[in-house]
Structure 1
Amino acid sequence: MRSPAELDDVPWHDLTHAYGSAEDVPQLIRALYEDDQETVDEAIYELYGNIHHQGTVYPASAPAVPFLAHAACHVPGKREDLLMLLATLADNGPGDSESPHWPGSVVAAICAELARVFPELLPHLDDTDRGIRRAVLRVIAAVAGSLHAELRAEVLARVDVLYATDPVAAVRADAMVVRVLSGGSEVEALDSPLPEVRLAAAVLAAERSGPPYAPRLVEILTEDGADPDPGDDNYPWPGTSSQDQHLTGLLSQDPDAALTIAAGWIAAGDIGSRGSWIARQIMETWRGREPQALDLLLAALPHQGEAGGPAHGLSTIARWVRHVPEPGAALRDALYEYARTEQGESAEAALLALTHSRDPRALDLVLVLDLHCSGAQTLQAAALSFPEAGDRLIPAIRSALAAGATGNDAIHLVAALERFGTAAGQAQPELVDCLRTGRGAVVAARLLGRVGTPSTETTSALLEAAQSTDASLSIAAAVAHYQHTGEADPALRTFETLLATAKGPTHWYLAGLTPLGSAAAPLLPTIEPLLTARYDWTRMAAAEAHHAITGSPDRAVPVLAELISAAPVGLSALKALAAIGEVPEHLRPTLRAFAFSPLRLLSDTPFSEETHADEELRALAWRLLTDG
């Protein structure tokens, strides 16, 4: 170990951490010895942020180790925190790009330094504080492979003693993990009388075996994992911060086991909402698991805390039930009861979920809802679920807009009107007012362009909005003005100005250009160079615009085909190819992968009211395969 007196012997100014020069590291280490608690805490926080930053270590990290070890021994009040910092610095796993087995790596240097000072840390394995004993075990788990044979044997012998005799079951579980990570077996521990030990052993066994997990492991994880030790954050598993984090990561790999375990945890009270979290995680990771997971979320609602009630769980159900082709009657009946009997946010979330489930009873409830907060969002959901009910919903939407809905409420209401096609033209007066007053003006302008009836008032409002300093509004209004009048010049001037002055990616502007079609031909000299732009979204938007203007797929299709991937820009490119009606043959294997993957390839878009991006990718790929 090295004391603070030796800090100036290290050329910190030549070393770097997450934020550049490591010149500040000596000051932070000296601060660990201050009497002021706030100063010490701030120093530890800063060290976590610079010599270890979001899982990455740096050239300054290894030289700091002997000084941190000295502080861990001489700052008793922060011993556990400093030991954990040392363990975190040394963390490594088989899949890491750096490891102590890679000569010259930063992690190798950290582990070498930690191995040198470890004999002076080992006595703390007998500390009376369980947190400190667990922190030392965490250090051992990270550095055991770097200890010389004699020291390693001594350390593991002491770990065996802890496993056999420690009065704290969680410490015994940690000791068992260290034994297994050092070459032992977890099989015997699966039959331990201590649930903490059995649980840790089952996690180890699941990691070693991989999915699908054996029934015996699922049984242990279900029974012993429902209420884990609240102090397991120091769990000695390299690369993770806790046993729970590692376990949930493993469960996401086996949806059948995960849903079984989640059901058990929910039946046991859904402590910490852990069962609910697993159910959500499975829906986000795997396709087609929504029905089972939603049933679990429904079962978990009575366990949610009194303060917020079931609002959060109902909101999650509302988000996912729209992706189920035919939600079950039991689920819909339960949502109906919650919508009728709950109050405030819980009632609104239940009604939104019932509406997304396409239950006919939702329509009547929506239309008597006092529109506030999520009322506009619920009306949008109703328009999505009941497009045939325009004669009932359009008057309600118009009334809400006329009452002065602003912000996201106005956007939701205008988006709701879009679902009714030309019938939305009935709301032209309200849309023009939105445009003039800046309430959901961008979406109002776009809708006016598609369904509005040309009139002097509307044309004037669009032309005025086209002069807006808000680029999105300017584009939407200019294009809508063209759609009303057939006059392309105002729109062309708008796009010419924006494309000429853009300081960043131009795809936001190009995306609004396609409704102009061939009328945008004067812009081709500006658009064609963008087909080879560095930014993928710009290339995608330029290809889409080029096809809209020329009607020829020759330049657009190769650009779009190159962008196809399981990413947002890849999905947009696939939509554009589908609209063109020409999908190159060499993309068929990729389309098959999109269509048949059991895993979700795209994450949900949080603000989407229509469909999950992955569902859209799968459906589009399937349609293109069958059409071809």
Structure 2
Amino acid sequence: MFTGIDEVDWASMHHAYGSAENVPGLLRGLASADPAERECALDGMYGAVHHQGDVYDSTLACVPFLFALAARPDVQDRGGIVELLVSIGGEEDGDGAYAQARAAVRARADVFAELAGDADLGVRRAAPKALVRFLPEPARVLGLLQERIRVERDDRVLITLTESLGLFARRYPAHADAAVDLLAAQSAPPYGPGLRLAALGRLADCAPDRLPADLVPTAVRLLRERSARRSPEVCEPVGAGTDTLVGRLRRLRPSDEEGSHLLRTLHTALDDRVDDRIALLVGQLSSPDSTDRCNAVWMSGALFREWRADYGEPVGLIGAQLAAEEDRLREAAVSVLQDLFGLAAPAADHLHALVGSRPDLWVRRWEGGPPTLGAPVRALARSGDPRAVPVLARLLEGPDAPDDLGREVVHLGPAAAPLAPALRRRLGAVALDSPDVSRLAPPLLLALRALGDAQAVPEVLRLLTHPRPHDAPTGYAVRALGAFGPAAREAAPALRALLDSEYAAAAAGALWAVEGDASVVLPVLLREASSTDAGRRRRAAEELGRLGPPARAALPALRRMTGAEWLWERTAAACALWRVSGDAEPVIPVLRSAWAENPHTRPTIAACLASLGPASHPLHDLAQAELTTPRRHTAQPGAHGGHESPKRDEELLERCRAALAAS
């Protein structure tokens, strides 16, 4: 299986970390009798030779040897090798080295046909999808899948074969009828619950018209039947294994990975059928089986992040998991809830109960790092629940309050006012000569700014007047003083001293808020608006917009900036131009274009519309359309779920409603 390996000039090839001269050792490691050595070798293949899905010349050179390894019955863990080959072969849309890799895998795809009936369970599970992806003979592929379904006795392999039928139907529409018929048959008795769930998920993806009318109740019933039959050891935690990327990924997998995959497939296929997905999620979260509930919690985040809906019921059920005895279930629920911010309100009672009963969870301590706020307290504060305030107060009075606590205070609004004295004291105690000032001061400044606590002016001002090499908190301090307004008048000299610095625009804006003298700040902002740096021009435009009509002298500069190459500069300038001139006509095309070009500009534009009141009427159609769109503006086209919190999208909706209400 390694014939010719020493004749390859590996040293002249490369992988993610340089020379590929170590690749022969990795390939030989895949054939080792030692399980740890095999896993380390596979880790090296994914970590270097196929790093993050990349294809190098060494990756291409490995393909023949990987096929030789996959075909040897005496090699262990060959299923992982087949999966690696599938990953290297990639998808249809690659070019360059990716296209070469796909061609190399396709050229040897007959091997997958032989492996479909291999004695090794892992190989039989990996081979069907490889067949569909790489064997360019649809009729033969379908025949092989049908044959394997007839003779296979292992439920796990049967599920893989069923999923491969769905993939086949999507890839070869002209040959799909027979595959869909078989999927429809597998979705009904006498097949077992796991296989039926797999068939329903694939039907939802490739032939939704063949789904049963009672899809959700059927799926929930099948899930519970499957759980009742599931062997207890399936749900036991994975052992420590090796400290490799592959090993760590295995430990992060759900304890019932197959069950998680089956329901995630169904959720993904249902896509915009949000009501059905919510009902399915509620059924999962109501399961008597804690593993099913844990899987449901983890997959709920993708739904919350992608679609706008009333999630009160599933969020409340996620909150109920906080009382579970299993640490993994409680931690999963907290992890999801802390990313929901205000949407977590239906779970606030459960969060409060957990926080009250488990003071040991208030702070998370890290080896070699500063403590951070515990996830349950963070989730309660982010939900806007004032019951977080007493806990935060106790932490602030302690000797080692979490450094990031101030960042969560901002979500509590006026209810957090009692925390202001302690926040001021902690800010005043920060050692300004220490490099830690860059870590400690910003969260406290954010909190005091959100509270509008003008009594903190002396503590904030000392950050601007103390000579130090660490100036990271300067911008935070300037914006806090601007939020305090005229009550921060004593800070005016320090702000003037920054008018020639990199913080010029922010300092000018704060000085305007403090003194209201356009004759002082307008020249500074005009200078910044003519900077060669696009970021400084954008910041100047934002501050000019806050000045409003007193900034009329800046109109020529703002008009020029509305034609800038950088989208964010155009957007800021257009908003400022409207606020300063009151004339919507030249601004509307710019903002419409930005709204469509990059959805992430929408919160900025919506905030502008809300601040303009009735004058924003020419763009109300954008706000109205946004409020009727079911998909979140942060969801990426073609992606499912993403990783961004729903918070930004919820803020957009709130601003759209405010803009329409002001008309």
Q: Which residue matches 2:137?
A: 147
Partner SS state of residue 299, structure 2: helix
Provide closer, same or farther for how the CA distance between residues 64 and 334 of structure 1 changes in structure 2, counting only shifts above 3 A.
Answer: closer
8 Å CA contact retained: 2:489, 2:514? no
Counterpart Cα distance in 1 of 2:507 and 2:408: 27
Matched, 1:295 2:281: no
Provide closer, same or farther for how the CA distance between residues 550 and 18 of structure 1 changes in structure 2, counting only shifts above 3 A.
Answer: farther
1:526-605 map, 5 Å? 526-565=557-596, 567-581=599-613, 582-583=615-616, 585=618, 587-602=619-634
Q: 2:186 aligns with which of 172, 189, 192?
A: 189
Counterpart Cα distance in 1 of 2:146 and 2:649: 51
Partner SS state of residue 497, structure 2: helix
CA deviation profile, 1:165-223 (whole Å, cap 9, x unmatched): x3x32112223444564733123333355443233223223324549845323432454
Task: State the AA in 1 paired with 2:295.
Answer: R
CA deviation profile, 1:367-402 (whole Å, cap 9, x unmatched): 4444511543454333x1527xx4x44434333333
Q: Which residue matches 1:277?
A: 298
Q: 1:128 aligns with which of 119, 122, 125?
A: 119
Counterpart Cα distance in 1 of 2:388 and 2:22: 63
Counterpart Cα distance in 2 of 1:147 and 1:623: 58
Q: Which residue matches 1:170?
A: 156
8 Å CA contact retained: 2:505, 2:525? yes
Counterpart Cα distance in 1 of 2:465 and 2:341: 37
Q: Which residue matches 2:218?
A: 216
Farther-moved stretch of structure 1 (365-374 vs 280-289):
365-374
8 Å CA contact retained: 2:508, 2:524? no
Counterpart Cα distance in 2 of 1:148 and 1:251: 26
Provide closer, same or farther for how the CA distance between residues 333 and 196 of structure 1 changes in structure 2, counting only shifts above 3 A.
Answer: closer
RMSD: 4.8
Q: Which residue matches 1:381?
A: 411
1:294-313 map, 5 Å? 294-303=315-324, 306=327, 310=330, 313=333
Counterpart Cα distance in 1 of 2:6 and 2:472: 64
Q: Which residue matches 2:277?
A: 258
Q: Which residue matches 1:101?
A: none
Matched, 1:322 2:342: yes
1:421-440 map, 5 Å? 424-437=453-466, 440=473
Counterpart Cα distance in 2 of 1:443 and 1:187: 60
Partner SS state of residue 599, structure 1: coil
8 Å CA contact retained: 2:70, 2:78? yes
Counterpart Cα distance in 1 of 2:392 and 2:535: 43
CA deviation profile, 1:36-66 (whole Å, cap 9, x unmatched): 956675345444348x54xxx8999999865
Give, in angstroms, the shift of residue 445 of structure 1: 1.7
Partner SS state of residue 76, structure 1: coil
1:402-421 map, 5 Å? 402-404=428-430, 407=438, 410-420=441-451
Partner SS state of residue 564, structure 1: helix
8 Å CA contact retained: 2:302, 2:642? no
The normalised TM-score by structure 2 is 0.71
Matched, 1:477 2:507: yes
- % identity of equivalent residues: 21
Give, in angstroms, the shift of residue 155 of structure 1: 3.0
CA deviation profile, 1:262-285 (whole Å, cap 9, x unmatched): 445444114593111233332222
Give, in angstroms, the shift of residue 322 of structure 1: 2.0
Higher relative contact order (CA 8 A, sep 6+): 2
Q: Which residue matches 2:495?
A: 462
8 Å CA contact retained: 1:445, 1:476? yes
Counterpart Cα distance in 2 of 1:505 and 1:463: 18
Q: Which residue matches 1:447?
A: 480
Aligned residues: 582
Counterpart Cα distance in 1 of 2:274 and 2:483: 44
Counterpart Cα distance in 1 of 2:183 and 2:25: 42
Task: State the AA in 2 paired with 1:201.
Answer: A
8 Å CA contact retained: 1:475, 1:491? no
Counterpart Cα distance in 2 of 1:175 and 1:619: 47
Partner SS state of residue 511, structure 1: helix
Q: Which residue matches 2:149?
A: 160
1:8-27 map, 5 Å? none
Counterpart Cα distance in 2 of 1:67 and 1:309: 43
Partner SS state of residue 597, structure 1: coil
Identify unmatched segments of 5+ residues in structure 1. 99-103, 235-240
Counterpart Cα distance in 2 of 1:157 and 1:257: 31
Counterpart Cα distance in 2 of 1:130 and 1:222: 26
Counterpart Cα distance in 2 of 1:148 and 1:358: 56
Provide closer, same or farther for how the CA distance between residues 2 and 143 of structure 1 changes in structure 2, counting only shifts above 3 A.
Answer: farther
Counterpart Cα distance in 2 of 1:357 and 1:39: 45
Q: 1:614 aligns with which of 633, 646, 649?
A: 649
Matched, 1:82 2:86: no
Give, in angstroms, the shift of residue 491 of structure 1: 6.5
Provide closer, same or farther for how the CA distance between residues 361 and 158 of structure 1 changes in structure 2, counting only shifts above 3 A.
Answer: closer
Partner SS state of residue 289, structure 1: coil
Q: 1:32 aligns with which of 23, 27, 30?
A: 27
CA deviation profile, 1:389-434 (whole Å, cap 9, x unmatched): x4x444343333333395566444433444555xx32332222124
Partner SS state of residue 543, structure 2: coil
Identify unmatched segments of 5+ residues in structure 2. 170-177, 239-248, 254-259, 364-373, 432-436, 636-640
Partner SS state of residue 598, structure 1: coil
8 Å CA contact retained: 2:430, 2:440? no
Provide closer, same or farther for how the CA distance between residues 550 and 353 of structure 1 changes in structure 2, counting only shifts above 3 A.
Answer: same
CA deviation profile, 1:90-118 (whole Å, cap 9, x unmatched): 565xxx768xxxxx999998777655533
8 Å CA contact retained: 2:305, 2:643? no
Provide closer, same or farther for how the CA distance between residues 495 and 153 of structure 1 changes in structure 2, counting only shifts above 3 A.
Answer: closer
Provide closer, same or farther for how the CA distance between residues 361 and 270 of structure 1 changes in structure 2, counting only shifts above 3 A.
Answer: same
Give, in angstroms, the shift of residue 614 of structure 1: 1.9
Give, in angstroms, the shift of residue 488 of structure 1: 4.3
Counterpart Cα distance in 2 of 1:153 and 1:8: 37
